[in-house]
């Protein structure tokens, strides 16, 4: 049976929610982000995009491009509330819905035609229901495989529908810029250009082994996508893959004590976040951005999974210490990922007290969570943070 994969992408989601809730913002250029000029935007309305404003752009730069830009502080709880309504709509059309992020999802609609009609009719019905439920528009892409469905949803934004039929795939790839393939970033593009690769179909000029030698395990995946092949299934649920927090400074920071204090606060936030989701992670990642916008990330995989803020913090500090001396920093952040369950055989060198120690730390964290949920987030503060009051 021919696969039909749908990708739904909400249009300028955060900014559209702000315009929905505040009529004074409608029709005006809106950016969502922190109010100080060193911060970056997490979203930009279509009115703002006409001036060249985009997400991940520093607020100061955005205001230079668009002096009339209305910068509003994001409301994560409100975005989650509306996202939940969108996912409820999608679940009415297929049991296989994969939420890729707060504002996008994949749906496998293969075989649902007898219930809801052909793919375009399903897309139109979903868009109407989302609009009725949330007051917002969405764009839809439909294709035989996931990566093409995602690309298709961006072809006719906002509020559009784009369908790539199976017999159109090869011609589509001949005119698809290779950088449009998800995963082809700024680092890979110059290398691809050096081999004369301009369009996705150009990847087939060289054999699979050629790409594996130059890009490792990603090479054959690129080769397949150049032919429109993507075996990745739509996975029901779309489990959380990572949790992170970061701060952009109004003025560059060089003091290591200040940076580590922020890392502790961030570690507290992401540890509480993954505990709420019943998760533990193994890989801690430190992110640092410098005044010239150069950015580095450093990761370390732990021996065992954790949801303990202290463990995350100490790992982040070790990664930070390894980069000293740093000089001025404009952003610092920490994250945790690699949540999958993995069996691990105990070594004879393992400390027999460690499991008991980890259990006590988990019990302490749960007690802290319960107290904060009952009395507020500021009721308990770790001693390390009190030193900075």
Active site residues: 104
- Beta-strand runs (E) in the chain: 5-10, 30-33, 41-44, 70-72, 97-101, 104-108, 138-143, 161-163, 242-253, 281-289, 295-306, 329-337
The answer to whether residues 243 and 270 touch, using CB atoms and an 8 Å cutoff, is yes
Q: Which of 167, 142, 140, 148 is nearest to 224 (CA)?
A: 148
The answer to whether residues 122 and 93 touch, using CB atoms and an 8 Å cutoff, is yes
The answer to whether residues 42 and 74 touch, using CB atoms and an 8 Å cutoff, is yes
The answer to whether residues 290 and 327 touch, using CB atoms and an 8 Å cutoff, is yes
Q: Would you state the structure tokens that stand for residue 323, as one six-digit string?
A: 């980069």
Backbone angles phi, psi at 95, to 5 degrees: -75, -10
Q: Would you state the structure tokens that stand for residue 388, as one six-digit string?
A: 């900075």
Place of tokens 């060249």: 52
The answer to whether residues 98 and 105 touch, using CB atoms and an 8 Å cutoff, is yes
User: For residues 295 and 254, what is the distance between their CA atoms, to the nearest angstrom?
Assistant: 15
The answer to whether residues 179 and 37 touch, using CB atoms and an 8 Å cutoff, is no
The answer to whether residues 334 and 242 touch, using CB atoms and an 8 Å cutoff, is no
3-class DSSP assignment, residue 333: strand
Kindly give the pairing relationship between strand 97-101 and strand 104-108.
antiparallel
What are the distances in angstroms from CA 212 to CA 209, 228, 288, 345? 5, 18, 30, 32
The neighbouring-strand residues paired with 157 are none
The neighbouring-strand residues paired with 283 are 301, 337
CA dihedral 81, 240, 122, 148 (to 10 degrees): 130
């Amino acid at each position: 049976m021919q696969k039909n994969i749908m990708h739904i992408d909400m249009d300028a989601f955060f900014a559209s929610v702000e315009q929905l809730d505040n009529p004074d913002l409608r029709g005006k250029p809106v950016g969502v982000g922190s109010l100080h000029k060193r911060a970056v935007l997490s979203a930009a309305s279509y009115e703002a995009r006409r001036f060249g404003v985009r997400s991940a752009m520093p607020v100061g730069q955005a205001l230079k491009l668009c002096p009339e830009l209305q910068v509003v502080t994001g409301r994560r709880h409100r975005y989650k509330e509306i996202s939940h309504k969108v996912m409820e709509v999608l679940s009415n059309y297929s049991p296989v819905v994969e939420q890729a992020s707060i504002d996008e999802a994949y749906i496998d609609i293969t075989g649902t035609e007898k219930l809801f009609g052909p793919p375009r009719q399903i897309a139109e019905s979903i868009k109407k229901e989302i609009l009725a439920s949330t007051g917002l528009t969405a764009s839809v892409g439909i294709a035989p495989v996931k990566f093409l469905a995602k690309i298709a949803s961006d072809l006719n934004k906002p509020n559009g529908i784009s369908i790539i039929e199976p017999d159109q795939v090869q011609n589509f790839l001949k005119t698809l810029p290779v950088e449009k393939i998800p995963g082809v970033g700024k680092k890979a593009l110059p290398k691809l250009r050096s081999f004369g690769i301009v369009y996705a179909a150009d990847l087939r000029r060289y054999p699979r082994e050629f790409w594996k030698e130059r890009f490792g395990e990603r090479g054959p995946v690129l080769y397949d996508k150049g032919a429109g092949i993507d075996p990745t299934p739509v996975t029901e649920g779309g489990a959380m893959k990572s949790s992170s927090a970061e701060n952009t400074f109004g003025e560059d920071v060089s003091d290591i004590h200040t940076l580590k204090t922020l890392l502790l606060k961030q570690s507290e936030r992401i540890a509480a976040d993954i505990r709420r989701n019943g998760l533990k992670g193994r890989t801690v990642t430190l992110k640092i951005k410098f005044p010239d916008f150069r950015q580095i990330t450093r990761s370390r995989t732990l021996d065992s999974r954790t949801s303990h803020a202290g463990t995350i913090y100490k790992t982040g500090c070790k990664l930070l210490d390894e980069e000293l001396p740093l000089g001025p920093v404009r952003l610092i952040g920490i994250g945790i990922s690699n949540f999958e369950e993995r069996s691990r055989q105990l070594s004879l060198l393992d400390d027999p007290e460690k499991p008991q120690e980890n259990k006590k730390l988990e019990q302490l964290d749960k007690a802290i969570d319960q107290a904060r949920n009952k009395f507020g987030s500021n009721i308990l503060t770790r001693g390390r943070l009190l030193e900075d009051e």
